[in-house]
Structure 1
Amino acid sequence: MDKINRRVLTTGLLSGAMSFATAGIAQSPVPAPATQFAGFPDETNTGPVAHTIFQDYTGNYEVRTDNAVVSGLRVTGAIVVHANNVTVQNCIVNGSGQLWCVGVPGELGNKNLKVLNCRLYGVPVKDNHDASHLLDGVYNAIEVGFCEIYGCENGVDGGGSLYMHDNYIHDFADWGEDHDDGLQTYGWDHTGGLRVIHNTIVGIETGGAFSPTHWRGSSSCLALSEGQFDMTIDGNLFFGGSYTLYGPSQHGASPVNVHVTNNRFSRRYYPRCGAYGTHSGFNRNGPGFLWSGNVWHETGAIIPP
């Protein structure tokens, strides 16, 4: 999908995350000014670096060599990593109909996969869910950075000590029964070390059963699992979601050192950023909890915990 079409897609609304509530459908808002992402990741500063030379590949590209660096691939299918300490960089992957664009099969556990400077996407077709649905942009990596991810159900699926930074995640796809999140950490309950730093996440569904002019909000920008601890969510720009952030205390957990700092929440799609608000499921009385410097993107006004 070319840059013009991808730019047009980012116009968009939301369904509930942990509670599976659904926000209403809305018409596309007035196009945003070019400065809406100023200082944050967007399509101009994510994805493959300039002048990358690509080799085309169709099917599942399987990596079985430890410490491999996979670069310059343009894949229709998926990159499936079976080896340790692999870096996938400067690649473009159309993962339509796949479980993920780049990932480690779940039974293998986290093998220190890094995904950097990639464009990862699906092309959702309204009347063909099975052939065009993409579950995850990236699955089970230790680092995801400088990537553009769109047209999928979840941007990144992972947890533990994942370092997710400088990504632009937008334009989710949903056929009415999916559960879309910028980051989904289900399966990583009670793990520590997650860092989500300086990303732009636009929690709006514009594909599948939806479109840029008939859109709905995604489930969330971040859906965190119960009891995750020692986490830092810092310096991100968030749009949309039902609740924009679902924290690690949805069911009463009191994890240590949950830090949510210096994030910007936009009212572009909803008056409260998400349909129901900016955040839910954070325990303000948890040991080492920190909520500081979080503001409304348009005004700079402080958002309380």
Structure 2
Amino acid sequence: MPAPRPAAPAPGPGHAQRGSRVPRRGLLALIAAGAVLAAVLSVLVATRSGAGDSTAGRCPVQALTCSPGQTDPADSASPKGRSAAGAGEGARTAGIERTSPAGHAAPGADPAPGGTASPGGRCATYSACGYPDAHTTGPRLSLTPHRTGAMTVRTDGTVISRWDITGSLDIYANDVTVIDSRITSDNWWGINLRSGYKGLRILHTAITAVPGKGPDNGGVDYAVSNMGTSSIEIGWCDVSVFGDALSMGQGDLHDNYVHDVTPFRNLGGEWQHTNAVISNGGGAGGLTIRHNTLLNPTPVDKGASGSVGLFADTGPVVNVTVQDNWLAGGAYALYAGGTGATGIKVTGNTFSTEYHPGSGGYGPVAAWNAGGSGNVWSDNHMSDGRPVTPGATS
């Protein structure tokens, strides 16, 4: 859980609102509105129940995933409570296309790697292995620009859909959904959930920053920050630039593409540590990191920590599942919680050699507590198939 940051400005006209008033326009208008409402309700029922005709061609825009045989979502009337960000034509925007950064040479000094590997054979790239990339993450639909600045959301149930945001979201509300959107931030965060609130979902969204801009030269920044103790969901998102991209003690992080993490010096001239996913411990636990591509190309001498960093900075790390991810880069690709970590399950992950021969600059894994209650390590491999075996707790 990241340290608290200064509160955002008071709500202004740019803040997200739920719904709008519809003027009376006579009987014909009411009949037409009723027909639209009926159509919307039928779409919502199909979406919530998981029903739908897979032969219909396109699934509705409200659908989070499409049924077999359906193509990308098609536009339909926006239900009450959604922010309708323009009519659009339902065209897919395939995330933010970026090339993979060049690999960095392994550092000369090796402070006793926390993991070892032995020969085998497996898979070359995250895309070839079916892990998330620019084509499977980010917004699926056309977007409408919104220059929000530092925007505060205070209405429970707000849905922000199809917004191309220049700014950031500071959320003091329950059950907020951000879907099919893009955020370009120069704040401490792209999206921040304040303590005491719950139910945040961020889906099919691209979240990025402007390197070197924002507070402290962009230092100590988070694409998504969860300051509370409730779980949040982040799925099918394209995340880049932010130093500590996904920061939380509890949540469901799945099918995301985190890449191009950018090193920077703070105003004091120090390199900031970087992680694709970071947890500082001390939380209620319940963090699941499943089927993500997590890349940290930061050189070790410029602040790299991990692809996944589970650190006991504020208390023990507990109840974390790291399953079926593509991990690459950092000083170690995985910092696994250390002494006192319990309920840590690391299974079926691929440790890539794209930046370093050992996945991380110093090796694949450090701080694994083999004797911790409920800790499980199984079926983890290097990208060439060599099994990864963690060393002693460090």
Q: TM-score range by the shorter chain?
A: 0.7 to 0.9
Q: CA deviation at 1:54?
A: 2.2
Contact 1:225 / 1:248 at 8 angstroms: preserved in 2?
A: yes
Structure 1 distance, partners of 2:380, 2:304, is 21
- Over the matched positions of the two proteins, sequence identity in percent amounts to 30
Change (3 A) 1:241 1:65: same
Look up the equivalent residue of 1:242 and give its one-letter code.
A
Question: 1:178 maps to what in 2?
Answer: 272
Aligned length: 270
Q: Which moved more, 1:222-231 or 1:76-85?
A: 222-231
Question: 1:153 maps to what in 2?
Answer: 243
- Equivalent in 40, 45, 55 of residue 131 of structure 2: 40
Contact 1:12 / 1:205 at 8 angstroms: preserved in 2?
A: no
Structure 1 consecutive aligned stretches of length 4 or more whose deviation exceeds 3 Å: 2-6, 12-16, 33-36, 128-132
- What do residues 162-198 of structure 1 show as CA deviations (whole Å, max 9, x unaligned)? 1111111111122242111111112x42532110000
Structure 1 distance, partners of 2:264, 2:105, is 12
Structure 2 distance, partners of 1:290, 1:283, is 10
Question: 1:234 maps to what in 2?
Answer: 323
Question: 1:218 maps to what in 2?
Answer: 304
Matched, 1:133 2:218: yes
Structure 2 distance, partners of 1:15, 1:150, is 23
Structure 1 distance, partners of 2:303, 2:364, is 13
Contact 1:57 / 1:73 at 8 angstroms: preserved in 2?
A: no
Q: CA deviation at 1:3?
A: 8.4
Structure 2 distance, partners of 1:234, 1:173, is 25
Question: 2:20 maps to what in 1?
Answer: none
Look up the equivalent residue of 1:152 and give its one-letter code.
F
Question: 2:32 maps to what in 1?
Answer: none
Structure 1 distance, partners of 2:341, 2:166, is 43
Look up the equivalent residue of 2:284 and give its one-letter code.
T
Look up the equivalent residue of 2:191 and give its one-letter code.
V
Change (3 A) 1:295 1:278: same
Look up the equivalent residue of 1:284 and give its one-letter code.
A
Change (3 A) 1:231 1:300: same
Normalised by the size of structure 1, how large is the TM-score? 0.80
Describe how 1:243-282 pairs up with structure 2 within 5 A: 243-249=332-338, 252-255=339-342, 257-282=343-368
Structure 1 distance, partners of 2:103, 2:242, is 15
Structure 1 distance, partners of 2:192, 2:233, is 12
Question: SS of 2:168's equivalent?
Answer: strand
Matched, 1:301 2:386: yes
Look up the equivalent residue of 2:388 and give its one-letter code.
I
Describe how 1:4-83 pairs up with structure 2 within 5 A: 6-8=97-99, 10-13=101-104, 35-38=125-128, 39-49=130-140, 51-83=141-173
Q: CA deviation at 1:4?
A: 11
Q: CA deviation at 1:112?
A: 2.3
Contact 1:14 / 1:204 at 8 angstroms: preserved in 2?
A: no
Change (3 A) 1:167 1:80: same
Q: Which runs of 5+ in 2 are unaligned?
A: 1-92, 112-122, 266-270
Larger C-alpha radius of gyration, 1 or 2? 2
Change (3 A) 1:86 1:15: farther
Question: 1:122 maps to what in 2?
Answer: 209
Structure 1 distance, partners of 2:197, 2:165, is 23
Question: 1:30 maps to what in 2?
Answer: none
Say what the alpha-carbon RMSD is for the aligned residues. Answer: 2.9
Structure 1 distance, partners of 2:180, 2:358, is 36
Q: CA deviation at 1:61?
A: 2.6
Structure 1 distance, partners of 2:262, 2:205, is 19
Q: Which has the higher contact order (CA 8 A, sep 6+)?
A: 1
- What do residues 188-238 of structure 1 show as CA deviations (whole Å, max 9, x unaligned)? 4253211000000111139xxx9xxxx957311111132222221000001
Question: 1:24 maps to what in 2?
Answer: none
Contact 2:279 / 2:311 at 8 angstroms: preserved in 1?
A: yes
Normalised by the size of structure 2, how large is the TM-score? 0.63
Q: CA deviation at 1:14?
A: 9.5
- Equivalent in 167, 182, 202 of residue 295 of structure 2: 202
Question: SS of 2:98's equivalent?
Answer: helix
Q: CA deviation at 1:70?
A: 1.1
Look up the equivalent residue of 1:173 and give its one-letter code.
T
